[in-house]
Amino acid sequence: MTSNTMTLSTECPECGGGVAFNRSPLAGEVVVCGGCSAELEVTSREPLRVELAPEVEEDWGE
């Protein structure tokens, strides 16, 4: 059976562990992998894809 609902889990590109969301993430959302603590960025919502988030730059902050 096909479903229109989005897949809410994917794989961490760093450790290969599962990354799951309990709700639909926003594009650009940053999450921390529970397995390896890598910072991951949602680069696509459908299909759900995450990549390593870019490094913090010098002028980033509050």
Partner 1 sequence: MHIALLHLRVRVEERLLFEALESLGAAVEMIDLRSVVFDPATLGDWSRFDAVLDRSLSLTSSLNATRILEGLGLRCVNPSHTADVCGDKLRTTIALEQAGIPTPAVRVALDPESALRAVEQIGYPAVLKPIVGSWGRMVARVNDRDAAEAIIEHRDQLGSAQQHVYYVQEHINKPGRDIRVFVVGGRAIAAIVRTSAHWVTNTARGARASGLPVSDDIASLCTRSAAAVDADVCAIDLLECPRRGLLVNEVNHSMEFRNSIDTTGVNIPLHIAEHVLTIAREQHAAREPVQPVVRTAQGAIA
- Contact positions vs Zn ion (CB under 5 A): 12, 14-15, 17, 33, 35-36, 38
Altogether, the residues listed in the chain come to a count of 62
Q: Binding string, 20-59, against partner 1, x = CB under 8 A?
A: ------xxxxx----------xx----------xx--xxx
Under a CB-based contact definition with an 8 Å cutoff, are residues 31 and 12 in contact? no
Under a CB-based contact definition with an 8 Å cutoff, are residues 20 and 7 in contact? no
Under a CB-based contact definition with an 8 Å cutoff, are residues 19 and 9 in contact? yes
Give the nearer residue to partner 1 in terms of CB position, either 3 or 23. 23
Give the nearer residue to partner 1 in terms of CB position, either 1 or 26. 26
